[in-house]
Structure 1
Amino acid sequence: MSSSRIVAVIGATGQQGLSVIRKVLEDKTFTPRALTRDPSSATSKQIQEQGAEVVKADTRDKVSLVDALRGSEALFIVTLSGYPPYSADKPSEVTIGKNIVDAAKEAGVRFIVFSSGPGLTKLTGGKYSKVSFYDDKAQVEEYLKASGILNASLHLGTFTENMWTQGTLKKNETGTLTLSVPFFTASDINGFTWVGHDVGEATLALLKNYETKSDDISGRAYPVVTANISHGEFAAIISKVLGKEVTFITAPPIGHPNYDEMFEAAREYQGFYISTPVPNPELTGLGAKFGTIEEFVQTEIKKRFSD
């Protein structure tokens, strides 16, 4: 690959990181550098074969991060959520996020795209205060904004890939399908993000414009929304494409306050991004080409649930 403009990716072997790496490889403006604890994993080897550089680094270890990030122009970050008690081996998401930002600054990274979301304690006036993985990301986002590094954050909706990764869409013995989500009714609106397609599109659009449009881009949070629709509408689209009956049912609570409050808040606030036009004109104006729910069902659901 001829480009010497390196984009480092933290979380490179997960859904979001892979979306960014695939899009960067396809575009060829930048060279992706995947940071991972295990360069020998099957996914690491696969993306290396596709053309990405793979470098060992540990987000808990600032020294390893600085070494891995040197020479990178930009950085895409995904931080993983965890729960107390925290320790040196299991630090909080806030600790990890700040460590990455500090390492990026020391390594000379010029632009960071951070996968984030709305802080629900602030958004809801304290009504929903137990969703730590939203509030922690909001803290890291504010730290990033204050870092002096040019930056942008992506606010994601419910992952469409949850249909199979979390089992929200299931085949029944009768050959029909059931879509089930806690708290939501069939008519409640939710915001969905096709991670495998649209996270890469949004990130690449920001990467290609952050220098010339830094005054407009830096410090901003961009909702990445593939669709604002009800689960009932989603089920109808799947049914039409597959030619099978798809029924929505309200699933019982998870039983974990972090997740149950997340679902409750998402239902009350209609997925959080109901005011964002679809596709987001702030990102399409930068060149992002988002997919649609219909395309997602045709390309991803059909091959997994058509039999």
Structure 2
Amino acid sequence: MHPLFSITKDDIKALNDEQARELVARLSMAELEAQGCSRAAVTWGGNQRAADDGVDVEVASTNPIKAGGYVLAPLTAFQVKAEKFPASKITGEMKPEPANTLRRVFDEIAAGAGAYVIVSTQDDVSKKFMAERTKAMADALVGSPHVGKVTLAFYDAQKMADWASAHPTVAIWLRSAVGKPLRSWKSYGAWAHGETDESAEFLFDKGVRIYRSGRDGDLSTLDAVNELRKDLPANLNIRIVGLSGVGKTRLVQALFDDRIGTTPFFDAPIEEMVFQPSVKCRQEIEIAKSFSTSIASRRTRAIPPGFGAGIVKCSAVGVHPAR
């Protein structure tokens, strides 16, 4: 993982109750999507302090889960605590007073060969004390018919930091949540001006034509989406130029919409860079603006030869409206 997206245990400890629970939910959804499973299998929400039968976030996937990940089974229940949670508290959590009987949720987890994970965002423990916590969890099952049928785990702040660092889009959200936003990045969403719903349908305008450097002729918007998707996994830097309002940002947003196009949707972190340009970059932006104004006044459409020269592996794309 690039250091830009690294999360520390101190970042995890800065979360409040609701943020900690949301983090586990977001990470669970990201984990499922990374394995080709539906994020809809994750259930969470409600009042953090409300009675929840010992479950804050539940994963109930109909698909197998790969071994070695952070979601331990297709049916995994997370209990999230934004507090220190030593072994002495675990029995009371799994077998609450006054009855001191095992929570009913363990009947369901055991029947589904599932997992139960306690998350403490304030704990940062050594291997020895981690073992004490997992032993306390196992001891709480003794005397029930569920011994050996439930996978048990305890995640501390470091474990959660490692998990968050594995998913850049979640890491970006987390940094914003703790007041340390990455000012040059923001997660996928309704980027285009005036839009608020990222699931809104992309409307095709046959009058809009797209031109690529090194390619003769124009492209329809759909053809451009398919071509650009082929380039992105190759780590190309793609520069898009055009007059204000012609749909440059909305085009980029459409690249990540799997409802559009025929090219297979690629698996990649979805981000947009919003930067404070350097002097050189500002000069290049002015060139792009000048070029767009020039082609508009001449009512011609093309990409100037050599545009983007000096930029490693750069492909230029021009977006222009119909005459």
Fold equivalence (TM over 0.5): no
In the superposition, the TM-score normalised over structure 1's length comes to 0.29
Q: Answer with 1 or 2: which has the greater Rg.
A: 2
Q: Which has the higher strand share?
A: 1
